[in-house]
Structure 1
Amino acid sequence: MSRFKRPNKTDSLAGFREVQTEPAVPYGLLKAARKSGQLNLSGRGLTEVPQNVYRLNIDPPEEAQQSVSFGESDRWWEQSDLTKLLLSSNQLTELSDDIKLLPGLTTLDLHDNQLSSLPSAVGELQELQQLRLSHNQLKTLPVEVCTLKSLRSLTLQQNLLESLPEELGNLENLTELDLSNNNLKCLPSSLGDLTCLQKLSLCHNKLSCLPDSLARLRNVKLLDCSNNQLTDVPSSLSEMPVLEQLYLRHNKLRLFPKLASPVLKELYVGNNQIEQLETEQLACLTAISLLELRDNKIKSLPEQITLMNTLTRLDLTNNDVSTLPASLSLLPNLKVLLLEGNPLRGIRRDLLTKGTNELLKYLRGRIKEEPESVDEGNTAMTLPSQAKVNVHNIKTLKSLTYSEKQVSEIPDEVFDAAADQVVTTVNFSRNQLTSVPSRLVELQSSVSDINLGFNRLSCCSPEICKLLQLVHIDFGNNQLSDLPPELKNLTKLRSITLNYNRFKSFPEVLYQIMSLETVLLGNNQVGGVDPSRLQKLVHLSTLDLSNNDLLSIPPELGLCTSLRCLSLEGNPFRTPRAAIVAKGTDALLEYLRSRIPT
């Protein structure tokens, strides 16, 4: 066997050691980027950007140095300029000045790195429309960023910013600005010059005041100032003409903000130190739908709370409320009233646990109904056959209610009682209805809210689609598996409740109702959704798909940026993981966007 022995000085692994290490960016990826104009280097563990990436559009490729004939698809001299460069989730600590060698970039994604500064050369990227810098260690924003006149989206959340340059107001085309989770103590007054801005997030900073210049933000619909140190809110915010959602949670407010805002729909002021609600302040909120006041020190509600007749949800959890005004039950659209954690007197605890409907019914019972005037003579209101109908509700609340009767049909006298009356709300819930009452059509000129929940409906009659004023429909807890295509005619419909039915797919017609803001489809058997069609529902802010049969979540769902509440728990998908779903809607949408293949 001795003839097989090798000399001791020979290295048996030498052949392996001579193999060159694979480049940080595979050549094939660079070649593809020359054709597509897009390069995705996310999650590659890069500590620096390779030089051949910066010089992608300058240096000829390796094969150009050799005697190679090029096919029509491989003409490198006809390459596309790089427009999209994704470098997220790496370990970059700095960005070279050579970034200026890519002047055609429209998207630059650097989120989730270790950048502590940016080069001034970034100011030469004048075509840039999206700049993603979240989850880094930036302490300052170079003034050169403020020269990027084409910039539409700037995300800077989760950095170490303590101040912003006054030149920020030069970003005249900016529509989205996220400054959350930084160390900002004040804001530049030029912020009010960002007149194209639609969404502004300032939460989780150290702001003690807001500049009056915010009033000039004429296109901002959502303003989030939660988790700061605000002691006051400037009344000038009332001048923001399209502001619909205002978040002021977790601040140091002692007074309810004075906001005479004509379009504000949602106001969140939970976790402050508010002690009192004034009638004048509430009366100014003429379009308010959701009011969150939880975890404050409120002791009572004014009797004139009935002035907020658009209110659908009122959260008073964990306050010091001891009594409730009976007038609370006269709010015509109130659907959810949360009162846990209050020292209420005179209301049994078991009544609170029965839900909003029972509580409002109890409060209505404390209101003394005025007797019918004898001058009205022999009207339909006085017929004995109509004694079972709550005439008071029809006349004062414009509400036709016939619920919890366990009937299979709504008696004709119920509709007769509403004849010649303006009825806006119909509640036929908790009965045994198997079809939509045909006489509902008689109310088509006025009814805007219908509750047919907790019945036995197996199909929805197209007749309901003639109620063109409908804004809210509740079909929850029925046996529906489809909706009529005529539903698309309801151009004012904002919310539809379909929880606890038998839908196996997202109802096709809902993709065609552009006015939808809320779709509740939990506890069905839905197996999938079309994110590209959901994106067209530009007003959709709440989508509940919990407890369905979704085996996978399409990453493109993350592009539905109008969503403020997306519920996916209780589905059998494996990704995203439950921990990501639990972080909330914003984190979930960001995760889904990061998974979109380029």
Structure 2
Amino acid sequence: MSRLRRVPGRDPRAGFRAEGRDCTTSVPQGLLKAARKSGQLNLSGRNLSEVPQCVWRINVDIPEEANQNLSFSSTERWWEQTDLTKLIISNNKLQSLTDDLRLLPALTVLDIHDNQLTSLPSAIKDLENLQKLNVSHNKLKMLPEEIAYLKNLKGLYLQHNELTCIPEGFEQLSNLEDLDLSSNCLSIVPASFSSLLSLIRLNLSSNQLKSLPAEISRMKKLKHLDCNSNLLETIPPELAGMESLELLYLRRNKLRFLPEFPSCRLLKELHVGENQIEMLGAEHLKHLNSILVLDLRDNKLKSVPDEITLLQSLERLDLSNNDISSLPCSLGNLHLKFLALEGNPLRTIRREIINKGTQEVLKYLRSKIKDDGPNQSGSVAETAMTLPSESRVNIHAIVALKILDYSDKQATLIPDEVFDAIKNNIITSVNFSKNYFCFRIVELKEMVSDVNLSFNKLSSISLELCMLQKLTFLDLRNNFLNSLPEEMKLLIRLQTINLSFNRFKMLPEVLYCISTLETILISNNQVGSVDAQKMRMMENLTTLDLQNNDLLQIPPELGNCVNLRNLLLDGNPFRVPRAAILMKGTAAILEYLRDRIPT
């Protein structure tokens, strides 16, 4: 009978005491009874100022119902029921925990985040089976040395406390895989951290670190390192030897140089925005073979090297708020899904092109490569055709770039001559932005993959659009739309849709049905809710921009959308997550939401 096995330091007669009366109001008997069967007890958000004795003694005392019933069915044999393995007492008002904690030696999960704890009891060492300990959002000033006894601990969450140092022996947590020390008062990371050889994720953001120990490179399994919002001026060159590193966050520090990463072959995301980096050279880029996201915003870069084309896997590049005056045309050969250039004194590319978005910028840069090529000849008269409407169509763009650009004409319809101009040519991209017409596009249904209908004052979408089965990119921003037709689910290749600056009050239901979607941009609308359960089924979705909407609350279940790399929520009236969480980025937001999912 595992329930009655002897626990060191307790009265052997304790098992025959009746449960204390302190539980009758704070913890319903039915909840305790269910916990004895499931091994799990959730007391989150019950306004508790202390943990009732009956909780500590749930596997020690005879349950009250046993004193009232002398015959037991198979489901009521309390002496055969399981020990408590998971205890959640988060979101309460606990200021301390007693040594009675040792009465629950079978615990594998202890979650006490969002309380007012200033310390942990030394009895924590008796929880030898503990695998996950969440003490985040408390007031801990130090950790007990006894925490080193938790040899089976895999996840330790200490973010948002007041820790100034790490206790000796901490490196003995040899099975630790996930460690969050963010938002504390740490000024030093001990070199002994290098002994945490099982560590996969390490979050040190929002501390007061001026340096990292070179020994950190010994963590050969580390995949995710977050050092955002510290005082780092340099990064130890040994960091480049971390072969398993996939995500590295160094935002909001004092870095003046971008580190080189010759051994980080698996690095997928590098975030070094909001530093003081002045130069980006080939030596900084040549080893980033697997990089998907490169964040260089808010630095002092003056140029981008041609070697940027070495980053053939790059999907997101943020260069906003630097001192860049020109871009290499070769940048257009990258397969970027997102390129941010705002806040740069660019002279070689017109503002109106930048405002049209990533794909337009890339097409423009590609066109400049061709225009500057050795075989380029002909005058404007040979590369443009004058139509009866006195509008011009760029034949060179049609033939060489497969682009039909009939934008900014303020037209109410597209002349037939425009479609005559593209006969016998394959068109993959259409730009009809800044007009006033209900578009006509059915002639292109067999080939077009990229459509721009922004700034058209559209109040509805023609079903013609739903016939474009090769469509991958759709720009509908700055219109008067408040709904999308259900027939859009036929767009089985759509990857990116831009619905910003419209009149949507909810995320269009049809979007949940388009499984290929990777990017949804729906900022600056009136969206009041999202269906987190349906969104979780969108396995390809990596970017969701919900900025400047009317979201009063963010569903915690959104935290389960683990494929999201970019979740933008600024400018909404919700109270949680707090601004400090939003500033830490998508991974921190998702973790915060997951921690608040009711169990």
- Could you say whether these structures have the same fold, taking a TM-score greater than 0.5 normalized by the shorter chain as the test? yes
| Correspondence for 2:318 | 314
Tell me which amino acid in the other structure corresponds to 2:394. Answer: V
Q: Does 1:190 align with 2:195?
A: yes
Aligned 8 A contact 1:429 1:451 in 2: yes
Q: Distance in 2 between matches of 1:296 and 1:528?
A: 35
Q: Distance in 1 between matches of 2:255 and 2:564?
A: 28
Shift of 1:114: 1.9
1:128-173 CA-partner distances (Å, limit 9, x unpaired): 4454444341524646557453x553212123152362233423xx
| Correspondence for 2:228 | 226
Secondary structure at the aligned position of 1:466 is classed as coil
Candidates 403, 408, 411, aligned match of 1:404: 408
CA distance 1:529–1:431, change in 2 (3 Å): same
**Structure 1 residues 431-510: aligned runs within 5 Å:** 431-432=435-436, 434-435=438-439, 437-443=441-447, 447=449, 450-455=451-456, 456=458, 458-459=461-462, 461=464, 466-467=469-470, 470=472, 472-478=473-479, 479=481, 481-484=483-486, 487=489, 490=492, 494-501=495-502, 503-510=504-511
Shift of 1:565: 4.9
Shift of 1:72: 8.4
The aligned length equals 550
Q: Distance in 1 between matches of 2:83 and 2:580?
A: 36
Tell me which amino acid in the other structure corresponds to 1:275. Answer: E
Secondary structure at the aligned position of 1:412 is classed as helix
Q: Under a length normalisation based on structure 2, what TM-score does the superposition of the two structures give?
A: 0.73
Q: Under a length normalisation based on structure 1, what TM-score does the superposition of the two structures give?
A: 0.73
| Correspondence for 2:119 | 116
| Correspondence for 1:5 | none
| Correspondence for 2:281 | 278
Secondary structure at the aligned position of 1:252 is classed as coil
More divergent stretch after superposition (249-258 vs 558-567): 558-567
Candidates 396, 400, 408, aligned match of 1:391: 396
Secondary structure at the aligned position of 2:179 is classed as strand
Secondary structure at the aligned position of 1:193 is classed as coil
Aligned 8 A contact 1:326 1:367 in 2: no
1:16-39 CA-partner distances (Å, limit 9, x unpaired): xxxxx9836726524413214443
Q: Does 1:85 align with 2:124?
A: no
1:194-223 CA-partner distances (Å, limit 9, x unpaired): 3xx3x4322123151255665865683x43
Q: Distance in 1 between matches of 2:351 and 2:386?
A: 34
Shift of 1:56: 0.7
Candidates 58, 61, 86, aligned match of 1:59: 61
| Correspondence for 2:544 | 543
Q: Distance in 2 between matches of 1:529 and 1:363?
A: 37
Q: Distance in 2 between matches of 1:44 and 1:239?
A: 44
**Structure 1 residues 84-103: aligned runs within 5 Å:** 84-92=86-94, 94-103=96-105
- Output the aligned Cα RMSD: 4.8
CA distance 1:147–1:485, change in 2 (3 Å): farther
Give the percent of matched residue pairs that are identical in Structure 1 and Structure 2. 39
Shift of 1:440: 4.1
Shift of 1:248: 1.0
Gaps of 5+ in 1: 1-20
Tell me which amino acid in the other structure corresponds to 1:119. Answer: S
Q: Distance in 2 between matches of 1:265 and 1:385?
A: 48
Q: Distance in 2 between matches of 1:201 and 1:513?
A: 34
Shift of 1:54: 1.1
CA distance 1:529–1:74, change in 2 (3 Å): farther
Tell me which amino acid in the other structure corresponds to 1:554. Answer: P
Q: Distance in 2 between matches of 1:487 and 1:234?
A: 50
Q: Distance in 2 between matches of 1:181 and 1:430?
A: 46
Q: Distance in 1 between matches of 2:423 and 2:245?
A: 42
Q: Distance in 1 between matches of 2:477 and 2:33?
A: 53
Q: Distance in 1 between matches of 2:141 and 2:337?
A: 45
Aligned 8 A contact 1:543 1:563 in 2: yes
Q: Distance in 1 between matches of 2:50 and 2:338?
A: 55
Tell me which amino acid in the other structure corresponds to 2:544. Answer: L
| Correspondence for 2:109 | 107
CA distance 1:308–1:391, change in 2 (3 Å): farther
Q: Distance in 1 between matches of 2:159 and 2:134?
A: 12
1:96-137 CA-partner distances (Å, limit 9, x unpaired): 443343244343112233242453544535264454444341
**Structure 1 residues 281-430: aligned runs within 5 Å:** 281-286=284-289, 288=291, 290-305=293-308, 310=314, 312-317=316-321, 319-321=322-324, 323-325=325-327, 327=329, 330=332, 333=336, 336-340=339-343, 344=345, 369-370=371-372, 373=375, 388-389=393-394, 391=396, 395=400, 401-407=405-411, 408-409=413-414, 411-413=418-420, 415-416=422-423, 418-419=425-426, 426-430=430-434
Shift of 1:497: 1.9
**Structure 1 residues 493-572: aligned runs within 5 Å:** 494-501=495-502, 503-513=504-514, 516-524=517-525, 526-537=527-538, 540-546=541-547, 548=549, 550=551, 553-560=554-561, 563=564, 565-568=566-569
**Structure 1 residues 164-243: aligned runs within 5 Å:** 165-171=170-176, 174=177, 176-182=178-184, 183=186, 184-186=188-190, 188-194=193-199, 197=200, 199-205=201-207, 206=209, 208-209=211-212, 211=214, 214=217, 220=223, 222-228=224-230, 229-232=232-235, 234=237, 237=240, 240=243, 243=246
Tell me which amino acid in the other structure corresponds to 1:255. Answer: F
Aligned 8 A contact 1:225 1:249 in 2: yes
